[in-house]
Amino acid sequence: MKNIILSVLFSFCFLPLWGQKDFSQIDSLIKQLLPESSEVGISVYDLTAKKPLYDYRAEKLSRPASTMKLLTAITALSRPEADEPFRTEVWHDGVIEHDTLQGNLYVVGGFDPEFDSQAMDSLVKKIISYPFSVINGQVYGDISMKDSLYWGHGWAWDDTPAGYQPYLSPLMFCKGTVRISVVPSTVQGDTASVSCQPVSSYYTLTNRTRTRASSAGKFSFTRDWLTNGNNLTVSGNVTSIRKDDINIYDTPRFFMHTFLERLRGEGIAVPPSYDFAELPRDSVKVEQMACWNTSVQKVLNQLMKESDNLNAEALLCRLGAQATGKKQVAAEDGIVEIMKLIRRLGHDPKDYKIADGCGLSNYNYLSPALLVDFLKYAYSRTDIFQKLYKALPVGGVDGTLKNRMKSAPVFRNVHAKTGSFTAINTLAGYLRMKNGHEVAFAIMNQNVLSAAKARAFQDKVCAFLSL
């Protein structure tokens, strides 16, 4: 009888260990799949059981790349005004008399990163509905929401003219980029067909392509960016359809130039040029004419699914504006709010470095443990989690995880943000284990020149956690 009781007690004491994963398998994956010269930090937390599951150098500082966007988004979503849309407004002063606006037009930028040709046409359509066809005044762009620094702290100057590094401004049009599409001719040696969107005379195009002609040299897209020019040049051998996004220098001027161009196209006699000035909101003579709203969810979806740097910086800027109430904000105003949330979550902000909102800066330094704590916080707030979870890329389905995790058990099971640039590859988000428990995790690979190896390692870790 005594032996039976001891046996039952022994079994009861060790019952929590039965059925648990052997997390030493992750240690084996680190040894087997990663080069010895590389480093990795991992943190895994069971959200259902509310306990840590696995840590490997979880407090080690690493460059987050685009997983930095999680901190920006979660902090922004935690504010009471989080659901307020991004707005672009058109106002006028003066009066409308005899088919003429005797006054000025103001386009007020609200840092809408999704403002596109449809939005521009919508504003123009509302303006032409007013009873005037002549503007006897000036047309101004109001970009007073943000300071004049058009790139983030620590962004690489030679990443321009890539579309992922836009010139930041409260007035953004088509993300401050032009999409170039190149189609080879049916005749070998002929010039390829090149088209650009959006259409605007703000930029010019030089086509130096040849179809299936190796003598034309390597195919390339570029812009005369060293002299801050906006002549787009497409050159070289074209063997298939090619597309790329090129950033445009001076995005507020790109916006205003195209805005005036489209007003003229609708028969409005506008001034020959535009300028920049702040809307005199305290004046009783100003009246709003048109407004374009973009939902936060739309901005968030693009930010997470496609890892959009502009959307993250727009969210950071608006975060700073909402928190401070300042007329003109800087990136630092948004970063201060992220640091405040870091402190609220039990960390010392001095232990980390945050330089921008999107992770493009090489100066950012976070830890896997911090990322997981932000994910835990979002999970604890239904209002935040529903928006964030909807926006995250889904393994094997969409966004930056579309071409990864195509097989069970990770297919459709991993909802996570990716991050990558040279020698850096990170992944952080949520998944569900076989026992039904929800998990938050962060994997931060550093000093891995082969992105494929880092991603394969991350995918296997996620597969192991999903079993």
Q: Is 138 in the same domain as 256?
A: yes
Please check whether residue 427 lies inside any domain of the structure.
Answer: yes
Q: The domain spanning residue 133 has which CATH number?
A: 3.50.80.20
Q: Is pLDDT above 80 for 14?
A: no
Supply the range of the domain harboring residue 420.
Answer: 22-82+298-466
pLDDT in tens, 134-148: 999 999 999 999 999
According to the model, what pLDDT value does residue 282 have? 75
Round the average pLDDT of the chain to a whole number and report it.
95
Q: Is 331 in the same domain as 450?
A: yes
Average pLDDT estimate for 215-236: 97
Please check whether residue 17 lies inside any domain of the structure.
Answer: no
Q: Is 265 in the same domain as 410?
A: no
Q: Which pair of tokens denotes residue 414?
A: 């991993």
360 confidence band (pLDDT: 50, 70, 90): very high
- Cα–Cα distance between 304 and 430 in angstroms, integer? 14
Average pLDDT estimate for 7-26: 57
Please check whether residue 13 lies inside any domain of the structure.
Answer: no
Average pLDDT estimate for 274-297: 92
Looking at beta carbons, which pairs linking 192-201 to residues 24 or more positions away fall under 8 Å? Answer: 192/234, 192/238, 194/234, 196/232, 197/117, 198/116, 198/117, 198/120, 198/173, 198/174, 198/258, 200/254, 200/257, 200/258, 200/261, 201/257, 201/261
20 confidence band (pLDDT: 50, 70, 90): low
According to the model, what pLDDT value does residue 327 have? 87
Please check whether residue 156 lies inside any domain of the structure.
Answer: no
Q: Is 120 in the same domain as 167?
A: no
According to the model, what pLDDT value does residue 9 have? 43
According to the model, what pLDDT value does residue 285 have? 87
Q: Is 357 in the same domain as 388?
A: yes
Q: Is 308 in the same domain as 291?
A: no
Average pLDDT estimate for 221-238: 97
Q: Which residue has the tokens 């069971």?
A: 46
Please check whether residue 130 lies inside any domain of the structure.
Answer: yes
Please check whether residue 99 lies inside any domain of the structure.
Answer: yes
SS (H, E, C) the chain: CHHHHHHHHHHHHCHHHCCCCCCHHHHHHHHHHCCCCCEEEEEEEECCCCEEEEEECCCCCECCHHHHHHHHHHHHHCCCCCCCCEEEEEEECCEEECEEEECCEEEECCCCCCCCHHHHHHHHHHHHCCCEEEECCCEEEECCCECCCCCCCCCCHHHCCECCCCCCCCCCCHHHEEEEEEECCCCCCCCCEEEEECCCCCCEEEEEEEECCHHHCCCEEEECHHHCCCEEEEEEEECCCEEEEEECCCHHHHHHHHHHHHHHHCCCECCCCCEECCCCCCCCCCEEEEEEEECHHHHHHHHHHCCCHHHHHHHHHHHHHHHHCCCCECHHHHHHHHHHHHHHCCCCHHHCECCCCCCCCCCCEECHHHHHHHHHHHHHCHHHHHHHHHHCCECCCCHHHCCCCCCCCCCCCCEEEEEEECCEEEEEEEEECCCCCEEEEEEEEECCCCHHHHHHHHHHHHHHHHC
419 confidence band (pLDDT: 50, 70, 90): very high
Q: Is pLDDT above 50 for 79?
A: yes
Q: Is 384 in the same domain as 450?
A: yes
Q: Is 166 in the same domain as 142?
A: no
Q: The domain spanning residue 458 has which CATH number?
A: 3.40.710.10
Q: Is 169 in the same domain as 51?
A: no
Q: Is pLDDT above 70 for 16?
A: no
Q: Is pLDDT above 70 for 19?
A: no
pLDDT in tens, 176-202: 999 999 999 999 999 999 999 999 999
Q: 170 and 353 in contact (C-beta within 8 Å)? A: no
Please check whether residue 10 lies inside any domain of the structure.
Answer: no
pLDDT in tens, 319-332: 999 999 998 999 99
Average pLDDT estimate for 207-224: 97
281 confidence band (pLDDT: 50, 70, 90): confident
7 confidence band (pLDDT: 50, 70, 90): very low
pLDDT in tens, 374-411: 999 999 999 999 999 999 999 999 999 999 999 999 99
Q: Is pLDDT above 90 for 1?
A: no
Q: How many domains does the chain have?
A: 3
Q: Is 304 in the same domain as 408?
A: yes
Q: Is 268 in the same domain as 408?
A: no
Q: Is pLDDT above 50 for 236?
A: yes
Q: Is pLDDT above 50 for 22?
A: yes
Q: Is 99 in the same domain as 217?
A: no
Average pLDDT estimate for 450-461: 97
Please check whether residue 358 lies inside any domain of the structure.
Answer: yes
